[in-house]
């Protein structure tokens, strides 16, 4: 049962966490490249200094929908 599993783990963490944690992390590292990844926004780095507008426009063109009249990009949120 999950209750027994976690109770045992909590009662002897020094002995049991390496046994549980290491294989789990190892498996996650091995499978990381196969995980479905989705973009989570536009990232601007220091190397983009001087061309932030172009970076944002390129992102908008490739990732964002336009408004119904097509005059601008539909954006729910902008975070700075």
In whole numbers, what is the pLDDT of the chain averaged over residues?
A: 84
Q: Which residues have CB under 8 Å from 55's CB, separation 6+?
A: 42, 44, 48
Tokens of 28: 């996650």
Whose CA is closest to 48, among 40, 39, 57?
Answer: 57
Tens of pLDDT along 17-52?
888 888 888 888 888 888 787 777 788 899 999 999
Look at residue 78 and tell me whether its pLDDT is greater than 70: no
Measured distance CA(20)–CA(71) in Å, rounded: 54
What 3-state DSSP class applies to 50? coil
């Amino acid at each position: 049962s999950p209750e027994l599993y976690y109770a045992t783990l909590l009662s002897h963490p020094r002995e049991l966490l390496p046994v549980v944690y290491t294989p789990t992390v190892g498996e996650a590292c091995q499978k990381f490249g196969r995980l479905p990844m989705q973009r989570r926004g536009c990232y601007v780095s220091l190397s983009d200094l001087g061309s932030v507008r172009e970076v944002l426009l390129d992102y908008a063109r490739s990732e964002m929908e336009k408004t119904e009249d097509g005059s601008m990009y539909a954006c729910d949120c902008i975070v700075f």
